[in-house]
Amino acid sequence: MSKTRPSRVILASAFFAVMATACQAQNQQGFSGNTPQAQTPAAQRENYDPLLDLPPLPNNKITLIGGTVSGLDEVMNHMIFQPFGEKKKMHVSFDTRTRFYRDGKAISYREIKQGQRVYLDTMLNGNKVFAKSIWIQSAADSGVGRGQIVSFDSQRSTLTVRDELSSQAIKMQITPATVIRSGERTTTTADLVPGTLVSLSFGPLGELREVMLSAKPGSQFTFAGRGSYLDLSRKLIAVDNSSDKLKYDISIEAIAPNILRQIHEGDHVAVVAVFDGSRYDARRIDLPSSPNQNQP
- Whether 25 shows a pLDDT value over 60: the answer reads no
Q: Stretch 51-60: mean pLDDT, rounded?
A: 77
Which CATH number is associated with domain 220-286? 2.40.50.320
Q: Stretch 63-80: mean pLDDT, rounded?
A: 87
Pairing of strands 185-186, 197-202: unpaired
Confidence of residue 47 (pLDDT cuts 50, 70, 90): low
One CATH from 3.40.50.450, 3.90.76.10, 3.90.600.10, 2.40.50.320 for 143-215: 2.40.50.320
Confidence of residue 113 (pLDDT cuts 50, 70, 90): confident
Which pLDDT belongs to residue 141?
54
Residue among 216, 219, 174, 220 nearest 196 (CA): 216
For 175-195, what is each residue's pLDDT tens digit? Answer: 888 999 998 899 999 999 999
Paired with 153 in beta bridges are 158
Q: Which of 103-112, 130-139, 228-237 has the highest mean pLDDT?
A: 228-237
pTM: 0.51
Which pLDDT belongs to residue 94?
93
- Whether 295 shows a pLDDT value over 50: the answer reads no
The 10 Å Cβ neighbour count of residue 17 is 14
Which pLDDT belongs to residue 164?
58
Q: Stretch 281-296: mean pLDDT, rounded?
A: 68
Query: Is it true that 143-215 and 220-286 share their CATH fold?
Result: yes
Q: Which of 137-141, 186-190, 204-208 has the highest mean pLDDT?
A: 186-190
Residue among 206, 194, 198, 216 nearest 145 (CA): 198
Cα 108 from Cα 227, distance rounded (Å):
51
Boundaries of every domain in the chain: 14-133, 143-215, 220-286
Choice among 4-13, 58-67, 148-157 with the minimum mean pLDDT: 4-13
Choice among 33-37, 112-116, 215-219 with the minimum mean pLDDT: 33-37
Q: What is the third-level CATH fold of 14-133?
A: OB fold (Dihydrolipoamide Acetyltransferase, E2P) (2.40.50)
Confidence of residue 105 (pLDDT cuts 50, 70, 90): confident
- Whether 44 shows a pLDDT value over 60: the answer reads no
Question: For all residues of the chain together, what is the average pLDDT?
Answer: 78
* Of residues 64 and 17, more confidently modeled: 64
Which pLDDT belongs to residue 229?
93
